[in-house]
Copies of this chain bind each other. A is one copy, B any other.
Amino acid sequence: MEHRKLNEIIETYTSSMNEVNRRVNVLMNEQVHQELTTDQFSTLRFLQKKQPCTSSDIAHEFSIGKSAVTAQVNRLYERGLIDRKRDQDDRRIVYLSLTAEGKKLMEDGTQKLYDVLGDILLEFDSNEIETFIQSLEKLVRILREN
């Protein structure tokens, strides 16, 4: 019974998480990203907060290899959304930052993100959302310690 209960919770957790991710992704594609993929939007959003940063920072943030970052940055660079600049003291390092166009795109995108997710989260009362977010943060801490 104790055992069965936990497995039911796990089933509910996985199916709900998957469905939330899929549906949020659809909303993002339709109303937020527009001309970007989800991964590109995530990378530019990281850059928006942490620029200037390096390829290695991005690889670490998203738990992917550096060659995957190179490929993605190349696409964004060719579209004029990202700048590359070599460090003058350590010429191995390349600093990445948003171009003016990239910055503008992400300001619009962030606003749309706030609008779309805001509509959804406003259907919770503020205690409920606070509790939910705290549990989510706890889950992150547990996973980090793992």
Binding site for B on A (CB under 8 A): 6-7, 9-10, 12-14, 16-27, 42, 62-63, 113-114, 117-118, 120-124, 128-129, 131-133, 135-140, 142-144, 146
Please state if B63 and A118 are interface contacts (CB–CB under 8 Å). no
B20 touches A143 (CB 8 A): yes
A2 → B minimal CB distance (Å): 10
User: Is B13 in contact with A121, judged by CB distance below 8 angstroms?
Assistant: yes
A124–B143 Cα distance when bound, in Å, is 12
**Quick check: A146 and B129 within 8 Å, CB to CB?**
no
6 contacts between A and B (CB under 8 A): A9-B121, A13-B117, A120-B146, A123-B138, A131-B131, A132-B135
Q: How far is the CA of A135 from the CA of B125 in the complex (A)?
A: 11
Inter-chain contacts of A63 with B (CB < 8 A): 22-23, 25-26
Q: Which of B22, B24, B137 is within 8 Å of A16, CB to CB?
A: B137
- Known A62-B22, A124-B135; contact A6-B143, beta-carbon cutoff 8 A: no
- Distance between Cα atoms of A9 and B18 in the complex (Å): 21
Give chain B residues whose Cβ lies under 8 Å from the Cβ of A114.
Answer: 6-7, 10
Q: Shortest CB–CB separation between residue A108 and chain B, in angstroms?
A: 15
